[in-house]
Amino acid sequence: MTVRVGVIGAGMIGQDHIRRLTDVVTAATVTAVTDIDASRAADVAATVGATALPTGADLIVSPEVDAVLVTSWGPTHAEHVLAAVAAGKPVFCEKPLATTAEDCLRIVEAECAYGRRLVQVGFMRRFDTGYRQMKEVLSSGSLGTPLIVHCAHRNPTVPESYTSEMAAQDTAVHEIDVLRWLLDDEIATAQVITPRATGRRFAHLKDPQIMYFDTANGVRIDLEVFVNCQYGYDIQCEAVGESGLVRLPDPASVGIRTAGGHGTAVLQDWKRRFEDAFDSEFREWIASVEAGAEATGPSAWDGYAATVITDAAVRSLESDGTVVTVDMKPRPALYGGTA
């Protein structure tokens, strides 16, 4: 069977995922597209022979749509995801699941009332080969108990519209999700401190930021978020255990020797860095829909947890580095496990 996908939001990532569902994932086809910019919806739909529909509500109930992809602006996600759950259709929602913890909880409650997982959230790092290898090593127990994780998330530059809060909400949120999954542990506290600021930033921005997280089992995570580092898009992660450590590999790259030096290029953007992860994420999501199985990727609960933890980090930033306790509701049985 070919899974017929309807896409809500035909902007930057929506168009990229439409291309992915059309050219990369063989078991899917995009049959419907909507956007509040109707002409954009019509243009993008025409490129793949899909129908442009007026609203997300129309798209979700369309008989031509088996599964829904939400790639609209964050504040509109909750409405679309809740409508998809009400219609009993699988829904993939780009991060964030919702912009408030309350809206995330409404989705969790709706899904629990439905009694089956329908929602997957777009945290693609869980599908990256390097992170998956790290998880295999950590889960094998060969390093003993994990104790410390050191991470860095660096972007070359960000636009003036990027705010200090976005360092947690849009940037660190990827580490927050992948570390909960890697460690199979929950984040219990968040603290954000701001060292000397780089001169190469817009004046309103606190950059870099150093974030500390403690897990329920006592693992200490430090994360440097530096979004004007100039030299490239660079993701580092190293987990230290009782008897060894495991480190995220850098992307494969040719070695270049020239002009008296040698080195490798550093990627400049997240799209290329995680391209394979995005492809795997969609292949696996479509395979689960095709099989009529529950999604196994990041759940609505993971979306809720990420929002609660980023809220705690923002509160710490706003209170000059206070350690903020993460206040999460009890995890419903539908979501099993620890994290």
Ligand X SMILES: NC(=O)c1ccc[n+]([C@@H]2O[C@H](COP(=O)([O-])OP(=O)(O)OC[C@H]3O[C@@H](n4cnc5c(N)ncnc54)[C@H](O)[C@@H]3O)[C@@H](O)[C@H]2O)c1
Alpha helices in the chain (DSSP H): 12-19, 38-48, 56-61, 77-86, 101-114, 129-140, 166, 173-183, 270-273, 275-290, 300-318
CB of 284 to ligand X, least distance (A): 15
CB of 17 to ligand X, least distance (A): 9
Tell me the residue nearest to ligand X as measured from the CB. 11
Which residue of 95, 106, 154, 201 would you call a contact of ligand X, by CB under 6 A? 95
298 binds ligand X (CB under 6 A): no
CB under 6 A: which stretch of 29-37, 186-194, 212-220, 225-233 binds ligand X? Answer: 29-37
Q: How far apart are CA 215 and CA 187, in angstroms?
A: 4
Tokens of residue 120, six digits: 């997957």
In the complex with ligand X, which residue's Cβ is closer, 134 or 173?
173
Q: How far apart are CA 277 and CA 295, in angstroms?
A: 16
In the complex with ligand X, which residue's Cβ is closer, 102 or 327?
102
Three-state SS letters, 216-254: CCCCEEEEEEECCCCCCCEEEEEEEECCEEEECCCCCCC
71 binds ligand X (CB under 6 A): yes
In the complex with ligand X, which residue's Cβ is closer, 56 or 90?
56
CB of 202 to ligand X, least distance (A): 19
Q: How far apart are CA 12 and CA 32, in angstroms?
A: 17
CB under 6 A: which stretch of 7-15, 19-27, 140-148, 149-157 binds ligand X? Answer: 7-15
37 binds ligand X (CB under 6 A): yes
In the complex with ligand X, which residue's Cβ is closer, 178 or 324?
178
76 binds ligand X (CB under 6 A): yes
36 binds ligand X (CB under 6 A): yes
Give the total of residues touching ligand X (CB under 6 A): 22
How many other CB atoms are found less than 10 A from the CB of residue 49? 10
Torsion of CA 301, 307, 308, 312, to 10 degrees: 160
Helix/strand/coil for 27: coil
In the complex with ligand X, which residue's Cβ is closer, 40 or 153?
40
Tokens of residue 97, six digits: 């699941």
Q: Residues interacting with ligand X, by CB under 6 A? A: 8-14, 34-37, 40, 56, 71-74, 76, 94-95, 122, 124
